[in-house]
Structure 1
Amino acid sequence: MDRKIMSLGKSSLVVSLPKEWMQLNDVKKGETVSFNIQRDRSLVIYPSSIKKSEEKEIIINVTSNEEEILITQKILGAFLNGYTGIILTSDNIFTVPQTKAIRNMAGRLYMRVMEADAKKVYLQSLTDESKASLEQAIKRMHLISRSMCEGAFTALKNNDVALAKSTFSLDDDVDHFAFFIVRILRNAAQNPYLANELHIDPLDCMDHQMLVSRMEHASDYAADITRHIIMLSGANQTIPGEVIELMITAGTQVADLYVKSVEAFFSKDVDAAVGIMKCRNKLEKLDIEMTSKAFIGPQKEAELVCGICSIRDNIKRISHCTFSIAEIAVNRAFKII
């Protein structure tokens, strides 16, 4: 649809609004409209009444025998898609496990239970995404994720079960940030006004969501390392010294590269990102050496073999997240503005 630019007076230029658009949005002569200049230099016009995203509600029906995991996934899906109100109704009454699952998920998403009875629960999100700082939220998430990676390898080096347990407990905090950030990004991808308020465009949304996903996965892998440290300690099993040294060497390098990859993402430092990717072969050699030495010598208990394999695999997975972030950083640096 094209419109001709016309003169109004000596210095003003005007463009008429399409009649169909005015009817669709119930805009009448004399009313005010709002507009935003987008980062791609396009102009988006809004009826003032819907400039900000309207609150959305969804009703989720829960059967009496519905599993708790399905209920929590439905709540999470609704939250991530921007619903401010989630109404859960039961065809009978909620069971005790269902009620606990609903309340636990609400707590993880920082939603409030506004109304509740035996057959209905109303959850509401009170967060205003337009006032959030996306970059600060991601950096805070990264601080916790970084602490988890560093804590996991320190606990492994010193066989520090207390530190392992403390590090493991941080995983929920990372998840809280991830849920909140993904909700913002999904809303911004659909809402030009919100995207403009956050100073991001759809491609930024995709890059940031991939970054958050890799950070969340790296945190999960670090948590799994601490879980196996705790398990091995409980089983009175000790990883052989040569294997521990290789694990610490590889893990420390991966943790350092992980931090640098996130820094490269925000700074758009291509040289730093490429330098991180060049370390792939070095880490693969450490992994091969670790594998070969892990099973040399006398036969080991099943718990020890399981722990060694899992810790090794998780170090490798964190490295994959790291290299993926570095690749995203390079691609992001060459985005056309």
Structure 2
Amino acid sequence: METRKVQVTGKSTYILTLPKKWVTKSALGAGSSVNLSYQEDGSLVISPLTIRKPTASRRLVMKESGDELKRNIIGTYIMGNCQFLEISGIGDQQEIKNEIKELCKVLIGFEIIEIDGSRVLIQDILDTDEFTIEAGFKRMSSLVFLMFNDLMEIQRTRTPENIRDIIARDEDVDKIFFLLSKLFISRLNLRKTSKKDRLRLIEAFYYRLAAGELERIGNLIVKIVHDLERASFSGEEKEKLLEFGLFTRLFVQDSVNSLRLLDIELANNLLQEKENFRAELLELTGPATDPALEIITDSFGRVKDYARNIAKLTIDLSQL
């Protein structure tokens, strides 16, 4: 960090010199205009009128693991440091190419523009001005609530359509989570931010953390669905599981509302909530009880743990 002195010219004009290295890198010169952004903490951010989007290409080489390649693709997407991504060394492995195609479906803005032999070329066409972190978090929470609704219906009827809906919605939750991560990194790098984004940087950070908890909740709902498919319960167990599921959904909804409304009282109430339902369910277990009962109740308990983490974020954020 550099320190510079404020100077006075005339009677009421204050001036500050700019670092030559930054001026040159930003392609500025005499007469150039810059943006001044006043921050709520009293700081001032100076940026060029148009921050250039990254245009460089990045190259990833396929090695031994397809999973490693996919992790690198996701990391490149989130960091947003290139407009074109070239993946080489795939050879004739059509399965890897298909996995890359499927992965790009959950990375909003990543479009495959060329597949040539052992090479795949991807372009990042995302316009960040169309999205906000706050709106994305709201959409993620809505999808998770819909997944809970489908889960309750599955517990009643085990309809295959509801199972497919849950899996599809979980994929949408993943899409938005990756997008929010990308938008947050863009904020950190002072790249183009949506004009509609009203969150301060610290708020954007906490929303990104909360989005991670929602993403984990979505994954657990899918796990619960698969465990329910393989299980067989008594009427009393089914009734208790349904009751527990409804209570857990309300718990998650309250945690999200506590953050969006910055409701400290609600957040503290959630953190003090005792787990009575899980104890009641486990009282039903006996020699003939399906072992999946404890597995499912444990998953519901983990969902509540993730929701509590959101409530804790609310309390932290309220201290600003």
Q: Give the TM-score of the pair, scaled to structure 1.
A: 0.85
Following the alignment from structure 1 to structure 2, what is the Cα–Cα distance between the partners of residues 56 and 183? Answer: 17
Residue of structure 2 equivalent to 1:68: 66
Distance 1:43 1:112, change over 3 A: same
1:99 aligns to what? 97
Instruction: Tell me, yes or no, if the aligned pair for 2:26 and 2:48 is still in contact at 8 Å.
Output: yes
The question of 1:314 aligning with 2:299 is answered: yes
For 2:130 and 2:42, the matched residues in 1 are separated by: 23
1:38 and 1:56 map into 2 onto residues whose CA distance is: 31
Is 1:262 matched up with 2:256? yes
Write the deviation string for residues 154-209 of structure 1: whole angstroms up to 9, x where unpaired.
Answer: 32134444423432332111111111111111221232763887333442232112
Choose from 82, 102, 112 the match for 2:80.
Answer: 82
Q: Deviations over 1:23-78 (max 9, x none)?
A: 55453323333332233232222244x52443453210113xx3322221111111
Asked if 2 retains the 8 angstrom alpha-carbon contact of 1:71 and 1:101, the reply is no
For structure 1, which segment, 137-146 or 189-198, has the greater mean C-alpha deviation from structure 2 after superposition? 189-198
Tell me how far apart the structure 1 counterparts of residues 25 and 218 of structure 2 sit (CA, whole Å). Answer: 47
Aligned to 1:327: 312
What percentage of residue pairs aligned between the two structures are identical? 17
Distance 1:94 1:194, change over 3 A: farther
Q: Are 2:123 and 1:124 equivalent residues in the alignment?
A: yes
After superposition, the Cα gap between the structure-2 partners of 1:259 and 1:113, relative to the gap in structure 1 and judged at 3 Å, is: same
Q: 2-side partners of 1:45 and 1:270: how far apart?
A: 35
| TM-aligned CA distance change 1:76 to 1:289, over 3 Å | same
Structure 1's 193 and 14: CA in aligned 2 closer, same or farther, altered over 3 A? farther
Letter paired with 2:137: I
1:235 equivalent in structure 2: none
Q: Which amino acid aligns with 2:4?
A: D
Task: Measure, in 2, the Cα distance between the counterparts of 1:226 and 1:70.
Answer: 28
Q: Which structure 2 residue ranges, 5 or more long, are not aligned?
A: none
In structure 1, what is the Cα distance between the partners aligned to 2:21 and 2:94? 52
Q: Which moved more, 1:179-188 or 1:262-271?
A: 179-188
* Structure 2 SS opposite 1:123: strand
| Contact 1:189/1:205 (8 A) holds in 2 | no
CA–CA distance in 2 between the matches of 1:20 and 1:79?
28
Answer whether contact 1:68 1:98 (CA < 8 A) is retained: yes
- Are 1:210 and 2:199 counterparts? no
CA distances 1:267-317 after superposition (whole Å, capped 9, x unpaired) = 1011111122222x1x2x3212212312x2x535xxx42x32321121111
The residue type paired with residue 51 of structure 1 is I
Match for residue 236 of structure 2? 242
Range with bigger deviation, 239-248 or 160-169: 160-169
Aligned-partner SS, 2:284: helix
Contact 1:56–1:82, Cα closer than 8 Å, also in 2: no
More helix by share: 1
Find the aligned partners of 1:7 and 1:320 in 2 and give their Cα distance.
Answer: 58
In 2 relative to 1, CA 170–20 (structure 1 residues): closer, same or farther, beyond 3 Å?
closer
